[in-house]
Structure 1
Amino acid sequence: MEVFILIGSFVLLLLCRVPIALTLIVSSIVTGLYMEIEPSAIIQRMVGGLNSFSLLAIPFFVLAGEIMNEGGISRRLINLSNVIIGKIRGGLGLVNVLASTFFGGISGSAVADTSSVGSVLIPMMKKNGYDSDYAVSVTISSSAQGVMIPPSHNMIIYSTAAGGVSVGALFMGGLLPGLLLGLILMVLTYAIAVKRNYPKGEAVQKKDIPRIIWEGLLGLLTAVIIIGGIISGFFTATESAAIGTLYAFIITFFVYRDIPLMRMGIILKRTFKTLSMVLFLIGASSAFGWLLALTRVPATVSDTLIGISPNNIVTILMIVVILLLLGTIMDMAPLILIATPILLPVAINVGMDPVHFGVLLILCLAIGLVTPPVGTVLFVGSAIGRLSIEKASKGMMPFYAAMIIVLLLVAFIPNITMFLPDILVE
């Protein structure tokens, strides 16, 4: 009965379109009252879920991304990508993917990537003769790299939900899958461009190339500082995030100088708004996860999935299918917090490393971000491209196939994920 009340109230409130954080809290309190647990104990679990030093990195990562985004980093990364690969056929599509790869190493957010890169490149691609569905599909599919390529605050959320998995190992684990996704998307993007005979990109004037490269590399150095500090062991994830934020502040306001210092107030306001939602959600999920553990839901799910088939491949496929389906109806952060305590024991039981499972989980949910009916990134890209969700989803079909191929490679070839953590992270 406890499980029925907990899960039933959760599903019912979701169907009633109650915000996910409130859904988690109400479900937890109602179940707690039935189990004769004091509401104060549930509140303590919420507060306890936020009492983690690693969570301090999230505000810094969000703030660094907001600063660099506001300061024109997306435009500079687009220019840098154009210098590298923009002259060949379908060059703007390839620039789009490469710019998303670069931007993902700074913002760690697929929505921010689509908003920043897409707002520049989607209208530009349409103006140069690219189909709207192609422009939107390239933008939103490549933005999924933003949650894979470090630094990624979603990795930190998973680390917390998984009981303290190394953030450095997660960052390194997501790097190769993220780059692999970008590479396969570039191949697909070029193939479609050739088939549809899209135009070649315009050559950049030679006198502008040194400045473009310099400005682009200055922005990318933010990610290098964060990742390098963690890998070297010189900084913790939180310390690296703080130093990276300070560097982003200096570069944006004293080197690029595209915006005045007074804009910092607006940047902080947006950062606080994002953090209030993320941290509230983490606290609510902590209470919900505690009740899941009390009612033995993770153990029951684990036994059920393993009992369906003794074959590890079948079990991993079931995990992937469950995550893909959940990703189409719920946003990433709450799903990380809810699904991790349920499915991580199953993954460990079939021999998956927690880092491998974390990267697989986030890749599955990244695909969910571009999949209807609740694909946040799909909605943002469609709005920018002024394209209906139906047409955008149809245009995404070959890109969905490419993303699923990468997903299966990551799921069944652990070395793609574990190679860098094994050699770089102690």
Structure 2
Amino acid sequence: MIDPFAVCIGTILVLALLGLPIGHAMIAASILYLYLAGLDMGTAAEQLLNGMYSSYILLAVPLFILSAEIMNSGSMTTRLLGFCNALVGRFRGGLAQVNVVQSIIFAGMSGSAIADAAGTGKMMQKMMTDGGRYPASFAAALTAATAVIGPIIPPSIPVVLYALVSDASIGYLFLAGMLPGLLMGLAQMGIVVWTARQRDFPVEAPVPLRQIPGITLRAIPALMMPVVLLGGIYSGITTPTEAAAIAAAYAFLISALLYRTVSLASTYRSLLSSARTTASIGMLIAGALVFNYVITIENIPRTLSLFLQGMDLSPLMFLLIVNVLLLALGCLLEGTTIILIVLPVLIPTAEALGVDLVHFGIVCVVNIMIGLITPPYGLLLFIMTNIGQVSLRALVGEVLPFLYAMLAALAAITLFPDFVLFLPRLFGYQG
């Protein structure tokens, strides 16, 4: 007798290998499963519509994407880069340090690693390689590594999606990501310092002290965006979704009225690009909602939970297994797919073992983000080979020191949950 679930999994793999987007493949395979199992195939549409229209939180995703697009089309990003250069550009390897610092600051605005790499990443690549100051492969590797910080420091699209599948508080998840994101940034800055000394990277001409107040003043409206966004959430004035809408409006108003760098044509391009990205993510979410229904029918989360509990794992051992699993999957799968398909299977086990879901969420998101630069198939590696016009082999060689530093940071985040939960507890989290 044919096992409907085995056919479903096989169909997803075959369709994905044939080039069909994974979201479409999951929907098609799930409908086939319902047919083979003798269930109402209309249930697929019901699950999709119920999931999409009852999840108010999902509206935050296109709004964060739009705010990042508007920032890139205006001069907000350029002013932020000027501010970062004034802060750390004067040290050896200063432009490389600027790359890290701008990612930390820009992380408080975009919520997307790909947006960081495709936005400020292009600018940093040109600045670092201009005049042969840095090897193109090193600049591309550093930009890929720093982009990983974006979805860890709030706001974060992966964290929003994790909140969707786990019912954990977005506000506390955002708070929990701050210190781990800063730790990742410090680890990368340490690698830059070491590499700059080893390879005698150039020292940039320092920005005169008299110019720093003016540079800072011009950057303040852009620097205020994370304050507006996160202040609204943590003060209780807005929900995360409402804060995302305010962030997009703020980015547009600052770019259009204060900086005067946004035209009707660039606004249209920003809206069009945001719509395309949102549609791509939306299809993944739609496919995951339908496929998760199949997983629920098959009782896979409970079966896996009982199996792992039967192994008498400690919470730490479980987290270490999850780290290895997600790092391996991150080499092969896109992060949104992992969050929407794999994590719902693991969350019941985490709860049963007493793992805090806010800590678990940050550990998972950090793993998935590191997967973006993990050879051989990290998505950011392919993006930066295109932007930097370098070979994948050269890029991988340069990215490995940053990868090792981030794995060390991941170990600390996994082993010390109090470090991750410090800020949420300051704001009243009881976990």
TM-score class, shorter-chain normalisation, is over 0.9
| C-alpha distance after superposition, 1:308-358 (max 9, x if no partner) | 453333221111111111111111112110012111112222321111111
Query: What is the CA-CA distance between 1:60 and the residue it aligns to?
Result: 1.7
In structure 2, C-alpha distance between the alignment counterparts of 1:268 and 1:401, rounded to whole Å? 37
Query: What is the CA-CA distance between 1:128 and the residue it aligns to?
Result: 4.4
CA contact (8 A) 1:55 1:156 kept: yes
- Counterpart of 1:79? 82
In structure 2, C-alpha distance between the alignment counterparts of 1:310 and 1:153, rounded to whole Å? 31
- Counterpart of 1:174? 177
In structure 1, C-alpha distance between the alignment counterparts of 2:205 and 2:112, rounded to whole Å? 29
Note the 1:178-257 alignment, pairs <5 A: 178-257=181-260
CA contact (8 A) 1:2 1:295 kept: no
In structure 1, C-alpha distance between the alignment counterparts of 2:398 and 2:12, rounded to whole Å? 34
In structure 2, C-alpha distance between the alignment counterparts of 1:307 and 1:393, rounded to whole Å? 40
Tell me the amino acid that sits aligned with residue 43 of structure 1. A
Note the 1:288-307 alignment, pairs <5 A: 288-307=291-310
- Counterpart of 1:8? 10
Change (3 A) 1:219 1:80: same
- Counterpart of 1:145? 149
CA contact (8 A) 2:141 2:398 kept: yes
Tell me the amino acid that sits aligned with residue 27 of structure 2. I
Structure 1 gaps of 5+ residues are none
| C-alpha distance after superposition, 1:387-417 (max 9, x if no partner) | 1111111111111101111111111111122
**Which shows bigger deviation, 357-366 or 1-10?**
1-10
In structure 1, C-alpha distance between the alignment counterparts of 2:363 and 2:188, rounded to whole Å? 18
- Counterpart of 2:36? 34
**Which shows bigger deviation, 369-378 or 318-327?**
369-378
Query: What is the CA-CA distance between 1:124 and the residue it aligns to?
Result: 2.2
- Counterpart of 1:125? 128
**Alignment counterpart, residue 23 of structure 1, candidates 21, 25, 37:** 25
- Counterpart of 2:389? 386
Percent same amino acid among aligned pairs? 34
- TM-score, scaled relative to structure 2: 0.95
CA contact (8 A) 2:63 2:245 kept: yes
CA contact (8 A) 1:129 1:199 kept: yes
Change (3 A) 1:409 1:85: same
CA contact (8 A) 2:72 2:120 kept: no
Query: What is the CA-CA distance between 1:371 and the residue it aligns to?
Result: 2.0
In structure 1, C-alpha distance between the alignment counterparts of 2:330 and 2:188, rounded to whole Å? 21
**Which shows bigger deviation, 193-202 or 123-132?**
123-132
Tell me the amino acid that sits aligned with residue 58 of structure 1. V
Give the number of equivalent residue pairs. 425
CA contact (8 A) 2:69 2:274 kept: yes
Structure 2 gaps of 5+ residues are none
Tell me the amino acid that sits aligned with residue 49 of structure 1. G
Query: What is the CA-CA distance between 1:189 and the residue it aligns to?
Result: 0.9
Q: Secondary structure at the match of 1:199?
A: coil
Tell me the amino acid that sits aligned with residue 297 of structure 2. L
**Alignment counterpart, residue 347 of structure 1, candidates 346, 350, 353:** 350
Q: Secondary structure at the match of 1:203?
A: coil
**Alignment counterpart, residue 98 of structure 1, candidates 74, 97, 101:** 101
Tell me the amino acid that sits aligned with residue 26 of structure 1. A
In structure 2, C-alpha distance between the alignment counterparts of 1:202 and 1:339, rounded to whole Å? 49
CA contact (8 A) 1:309 1:315 kept: no
**Alignment counterpart, residue 332 of structure 1, candidates 330, 335, 339:** 335
Tell me the amino acid that sits aligned with residue 414 of structure 1. P
Q: Secondary structure at the match of 1:96?
A: helix
Tell me the amino acid that sits aligned with residue 382 of structure 2. F
In structure 1, C-alpha distance between the alignment counterparts of 2:34 and 2:118, rounded to whole Å? 40
Q: Which runs of 4+ in 1 moved over 6 A?
A: none
| C-alpha distance after superposition, 1:78-122 (max 9, x if no partner) | 111111111010101100000111111111111111122221222
Q: Secondary structure at the match of 1:146?
A: coil
- Counterpart of 1:372? 375
In structure 1, C-alpha distance between the alignment counterparts of 2:188 and 2:427, rounded to whole Å? 27
Q: Secondary structure at the match of 2:148?
A: helix
Tell me the amino acid that sits aligned with residue 263 of structure 2. P
In structure 2, C-alpha distance between the alignment counterparts of 1:133 and 1:263, rounded to whole Å? 31
CA contact (8 A) 1:306 1:315 kept: no
Tell me the amino acid that sits aligned with residue 35 of structure 1. A
Query: What is the CA-CA distance between 1:265 and the residue it aligns to?
Result: 1.5
Q: Secondary structure at the match of 2:72?
A: helix
Tell me the amino acid that sits aligned with residue 285 of structure 1. A
Tell me the amino acid that sits aligned with residue 156 of structure 1. V
Q: Does 1:67 align with 2:67?
A: no
Q: Does 1:109 align with 2:112?
A: yes
- Counterpart of 2:319? 316
Tell me the amino acid that sits aligned with residue 123 of structure 2. V
Query: What is the CA-CA distance between 1:207 and the residue it aligns to?
Result: 4.7
Tell me the amino acid that sits aligned with residue 138 of structure 2. Y
